[in-house]
Amino acid sequence: MTAQSQSGHRLPIADRSAMLRAIGRLVLDDKAAFCAVLALYVAAAGAGAALPVMLGAVIDGIGTGWTASRVDLVCGAIFGCVVAQLVLMRTGRLFGYRLGERAAARLRESFVERVMRLPLGTVERAGTGDLATRTSGDVGAVAELLRKTGPEVAVSLIELIVITVAAFVVSPLLGLLFLVGVPALVFAARRYARLASPVFISERAAMSEIAETLTASAAGAQTIAAYRMQDERRGAGHGRAATHLDRLKGIIRLQTWFFPATDLTFLIPTVVVTIVGGLWYLEGWVTIGEVVAVAMLTLRLDGPVFRSMMSLSEFQMGGAALARVEGVHLMPDEVREAAPSGAEVRLDDVTFGYGDGPDVLHGLSLHPRPGERLVVVGPSGAGKSTIARLIAGIDRPRTGSVMLGGVPVADIPLEVLRRKVVLVTQEHYVFTATLRENLNLAAPEAGDEQLLNALDQVDARWACDLPDGLDTALGDEYREVTIAEAQQLALARVILADPDVVILDEATAGIDPGSAGNVEASLAAALGGRTVIAIAHQLQAAEAADRIAVVREGRIAEAGTHHELLAAEGVYASLWSVWKGVAA
């Protein structure tokens, strides 16, 4: 298995091998720069390791009769090594940071591209909290790993290797003493990494649960208030926060033994080399310069060991985030290769339910005629919006068929389907961009005249009063857009997209009733010749429809024109009577 399953329908988490492959891809995409950075770090580490080696040589040289000029020459070389190390390290860090930023940018782009290809139903089942934390917090943590933590650990490891090699070059005998603390250090690091990885992954998952709970509570604030569920939602939030706190305590417990153990392990070689090396010097096995050089090399372990061990927590956090980010790439691609012929919509004997829940639709059949304006009405919870989702290809039926142009809608490639079918709901997103850019999402080649005409057809008169016209920046930081204006923007995009089938799921619900009729009439005129399926709770939209389908308990209870259904005195007539009474 290349992914670890999460509870429910959460998106998968990549295992170690998948993470290593992801890192390998990032490195190979910029291998020339990676090799250059690696060479700079190795050269900087070599210059740093040369300092104690040359100092030991000077000590021995003075004892064997070096001249003052020779000592000065070596001391000048030592100073040159100091300067070289500073310059090489600074250059390496600069190039390494740029390398990490480019890798992080590629990671973000590939992540967003993959998320955009995920089926909407999969995203919804995963939950907005899980995807939101992966998109923001996890991608940010991985970016920090690539541009800062990763290079820090890489530099430290290179320094450790170069310093160890230098110790053996000075004296193979003392080099063996140099390694005395390595087993304890490796044991501590491996144990920490093994124990910390699942703790950090669970901490990131707990963050997802917090985000999911807060998002759900914010989105359903009115419902929560209406049903007086504040205490229940508050308790759910506190429960998620308590779980996250427990995960953080687990991380702290690991660190309370790991960091003191690290401090001891890099001090052991210094003590052993100094004491044992001194005894060996008295025996004549090593020189005093060699003892000094290797002892100083052991002291230089302090920096890279401390940095690498301190970075290990961040490395673990970044690794846990990378496992979640890379997990999105492990989602299997939907095989959608059907090619529709025309744009006729047919639902035949459709049964559908959400997840493992009960059926919402029961053997429902519906055949909108091409170019027809069909309005679907019925009580709340009857399954009207579910019909819209099936026709839009968001979900697949459990049994039966939902066809477009003679092929299953859910088998049509999304780029083809979105040119043929557009679903407009009550939820609309206005990007922080100009009005022109928000409209050009639907038709990148559309000119000003087309954009203004689309706005006019949805009665968006407010657009004429904008200070910079189509170039006016929209969004919270600029010109705020009301719910009704956002809906009009969405409807204008539909006109610009020019699809064959338009599904309007309460698309004018946010527009005031006085204007909603004008917008619907203008929209109907603009969409003439196209199949329009409108999901409506407000029955004034049904009166002018070509045909009305009444949904009740997941089935089509009756269908016909407004006058035919009133004359039948069935479900629609009862709904119309109630609606007129409320409207009056």
Q: What is the pLDDT of residues 294-310, one digit of tens each?
A: 888 888 777 787 777 66
8 pLDDT band, cuts 50/70/90, is very low
With CA atoms as reference, report the closest residue to 133 among 13, 223, 1.
13
Percent of residues in the chain assigned helix, strand, coil, to nearest 5: 65, 10, 20
Domain check: are 115 and 145 in the same one?
Answer: yes
Considering the domain boundaries, does residue 340 fall inside one? Answer: no
Element (H, E) at 494: helix 483-497
Domain check: are 303 and 425 in the same one?
Answer: no
Domain check: are 378 and 442 in the same one?
Answer: yes
With CA atoms as reference, report the closest residue to 289 among 71, 64, 59.
59
Residue with the larger pLDDT of the pair 473 and 195: 473
Mean pLDDT score of the chain = 82
Residues 556/349, Cβ–Cβ less than 8 Å: no
Considering the domain boundaries, does residue 157 fall inside one? Answer: yes
514 pLDDT band, cuts 50/70/90, is low
Q: What is the pLDDT of residues 87-136, one digit of tens each?
A: 998 898 888 888 888 888 888 888 888 877 777 777 766 666 667 777 77
Domain check: are 97 and 127 in the same one?
Answer: yes
Residue at which a domain ends, from 281, 304, 329: 329
pLDDT of residue 192: 74
- Number of domains composing the chain: 2
pLDDT of residue 9: 59
Residue at which a domain ends, from 295, 329, 363: 329
Considering the domain boundaries, does residue 153 fall inside one? Answer: yes
- Sheet of strand 345-353, all strands in order from the earlier edge strand to the far edge: 359-366, 345-353, 399-404, 407-408
pLDDT of residue 227: 77
pLDDT (mean) for 445-466: 88
Domain check: are 150 and 225 in the same one?
Answer: yes
Q: What is the pLDDT of residues 144-158, one digit of tens each?
A: 777 777 777 788 888
Taking the CA atoms of 562, 568, 571 and 574 in sequence, report the sign of the dihedral they define: positive
pLDDT (mean) for 506-534: 67
Domain check: are 280 and 371 in the same one?
Answer: no
Structural domain of 512:
345-583
Residue with the larger pLDDT of the pair 202 and 447: 447
Domain check: are 216 and 354 in the same one?
Answer: no
Lowest mean pLDDT among 27-41, 358-372, 433-447: 27-41
Domain check: are 397 and 267 in the same one?
Answer: no
The CATH number that applies at residue 377 is 3.40.50.300
515 pLDDT band, cuts 50/70/90, is low
Domain check: are 372 and 322 in the same one?
Answer: no
Residue at which a domain ends, from 329, 364, 399: 329
For 400, other C-beta atoms within 10 Å of its C-beta total 16
pLDDT of residue 402: 93
520 pLDDT band, cuts 50/70/90, is low
Considering the domain boundaries, does residue 298 fall inside one? Answer: yes
Considering the domain boundaries, does residue 136 fall inside one? Answer: yes
Domain check: are 323 and 349 in the same one?
Answer: no
Q: What is the pLDDT of residues 166-179, one digit of tens each?
A: 888 888 888 888 77
Residues 354/383, Cβ–Cβ less than 8 Å: no
Domain check: are 321 and 356 in the same one?
Answer: no
pLDDT more than 90, % of the chain: 10
Q: What is the pLDDT of residues 386-436, one digit of tens each?
A: 999 999 888 889 999 999 999 999 899 888 888 899 888 877 788 888 999
pLDDT of residue 5: 40
Question: In sequence order, what are the residues at sequence separation of 6 or more whose Cβ sits closer than 8 angstroms to the Cβ of residue 392?
Answer: 409, 417, 421, 423, 503
The CATH number that applies at residue 49 is 1.20.1560.10
Cα–Cα distance list, 146 to 98, 101, 299, 315 (Å): 10, 7, 28, 10
**Would the pLDDT of 455 be above 60?**
yes
Dihedral over alpha carbons 166, 168, 174, 180 (to 10 degrees): 90
Cα–Cα distance list, 176 to 53, 183, 294 (Å): 16, 12, 11
Does the pTM exceed 0.75? Answer: no
Domain check: are 323 and 472 in the same one?
Answer: no
Considering the domain boundaries, does residue 289 fall inside one? Answer: yes
Question: In sequence order, what are the residues at sequence separation of 6 or more whose Cβ sits closer than 8 angstroms to the Cβ of residue 491?
Answer: 424, 458, 507, 508, 519, 523
Considering the domain boundaries, does residue 419 fall inside one? Answer: yes
Considering the domain boundaries, does residue 379 fall inside one? Answer: yes
pLDDT of residue 439: 93
